Structure formats: C-alpha cells, structure tokens
C-alpha cells in the first residue's frame, strides 16, 4: 500500500538539504524517500557532513550499533549539540530510541554500561517492545497531523510496518502523541494488557515513529517532517 505525496510531489522538499545518518540500518530507503520528495538527501557519516543541513533522519536498524558507531566516528557529541540547538530530526524505530531521553530497558556493554542516546525527546521508550523478528506485523493507524493529505475531508490511515519496534511508555510535557496501536492490532495481542501503545510522537521539530514508513512507500510521514522543517506544520 502506497500513499502519494500531495501535489506537487516534486516540490514539497525543493531546496532543502536533509541528512540521513548512514552508519547502519535502512538509511538508503530514507535517502530514496527524501529524494522522492524533491529534497537533496545527504548521507551523514562524519561531523563535517552535518554542516548546512536543514534536517536529519535517524533510520531504523540496531540502536546499540548506531550508538557505538556514532561515538567511533566522533558524531555523537556534534549530533547532541545540534539537536539541542534546534535541528529538526526524524527518528524511525531505532531512531526513536536514539532520540529518547530515557530507555526503560537499555542494552549494556561488556563492562555493564548502559547504551547511550542522542536525546532531545522527553520520552521513555522500551526496545523491541512488540516482540522479536518473527512477531513483526502490519496495521493501519490513525495519525494526527496529516490533514494536508485529506481528500474530501478524510485523512487516510497510515499503513505501518513494525519490525522489532519500540513503544513509548512515558511522554513528558510538550510531547504530542500522534499515533497509537490498540492491543488487538498488535502482532501478539495476548501479551498486552489492554492499553494502547504509543508509536508516534512529536515535540517541536523532533518527530519519531516506532514503525518504518520508508518500507511501505508511505510518503506522508516524510512530508510531515519536511513541513515541520519549513514551519508549515
């Protein structure tokens, strides 16, 4: 299921330079999505490549590996500084974990040190919350903020793919919940306690989703991020 950008699709990101953290994970798919929106997609592996960006995407992958590689490539501190200085950032799946200020179940290294994040979003996330790879699932979500895509006054649901995705257990002041998954729609509803799980949030110019819109061809989440960069959403 794919959802086209609202017209004109070739201009929505025109003139913008959007970086995609390209250390590990599905960064290529995000670069394709950025290019399809008319923006210039920039793979980011070194601090110098952060210069001149209008926004940044942190892709899905292994949050612990991205964390380690960011420190190895001297990217972690420059990223944290730019996020705190107001750089618009969108994180999907592992990217959501890396934008969180707190992880409920952090991985630890051989010395027992918990994994680190870039921070920025006042949320607590739980890693791999929806289960293992074999428990991946797809579902349709009501997603706030996509009114620009309405047809006849109706906003189509977002078709979301969850692959070992996190969920948000706590949101702080100023964090808006954009989408939730009902237990009956999850891959293993028998293990949930009946409470909807938060899977998309926004705070200022920071956006995060538990799922992978770049996998399904769902364009509107990237378009929302572009509109956030432009101050139009």
Residues 29, 30, 93, 159: which is the catalytic one? 93
93 catalytically annotated: yes
Long-range contact list for 69-72, CB < 8 A, 24+ apart? 69/23, 69/24, 70/21, 70/23, 70/118, 71/116
Give kind and range of the element (H or E) at residue 21.
Answer: strand 17-21
Report DSSP state, residue 165. Answer: -
Strand ranges, E, within 127-229: 137-141, 158-162, 167-171, 176-181, 197-203, 206-209
Residues 29, 30, 159, 214: which is the catalytic one? 214
Residues 29, 30, 159, 212: which is the catalytic one? 212
212 catalytically annotated: yes
142 catalytically annotated: no
Residues annotated as part of the active site: 93, 212, 214
């Amino acid at each position: 299921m794919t959802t086209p950008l609202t017209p004109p699709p070739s201009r929505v990101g025109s003139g913008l330079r959007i970086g995609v953290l390209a250390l590990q994970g599905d960064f290529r798919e995000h670069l394709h999505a950025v290019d399809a929106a008319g923006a210039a997609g920039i793979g980011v592996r070194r601090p110098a490549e952060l210069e001149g960006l209008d926004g940044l995407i942190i892709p899905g992958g292994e949050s612990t590996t991205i964390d380690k590689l960011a420190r190895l490539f001297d990217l972690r501190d420059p990223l944290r500084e730019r996020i705190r200085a107001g750089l618009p950032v969108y994180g999907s799946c592992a990217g959501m974990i890396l934008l969180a200020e707190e992880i409920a179940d952090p991985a630890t290294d051989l010395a027992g040190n918990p994994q680190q994040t870039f921070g920025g979003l006042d949320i607590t996330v739980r890693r791999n919350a929806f289960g293992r790879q074999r428990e991946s699932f797809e579902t349709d979500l009501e997603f706030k903020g996509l009114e620009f895509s309405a047809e006849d006054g109706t906003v189509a649901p977002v078709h979301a793919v969850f692959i070992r995705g996190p969920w948000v257990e706590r949101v702080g002041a100023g964090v808006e919940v954009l989408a939730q998954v009902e237990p009956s729609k999850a891959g293993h509803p028998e293990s949930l306690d009946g409470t909807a799980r938060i899977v998309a949030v926004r705070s200022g110019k920071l956006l995060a989703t538990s799922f992978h819109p770049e996998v399904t061809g769902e364009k509107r989440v990237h378009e929302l991020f572009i509109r956030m960069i432009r101050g139009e959403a």
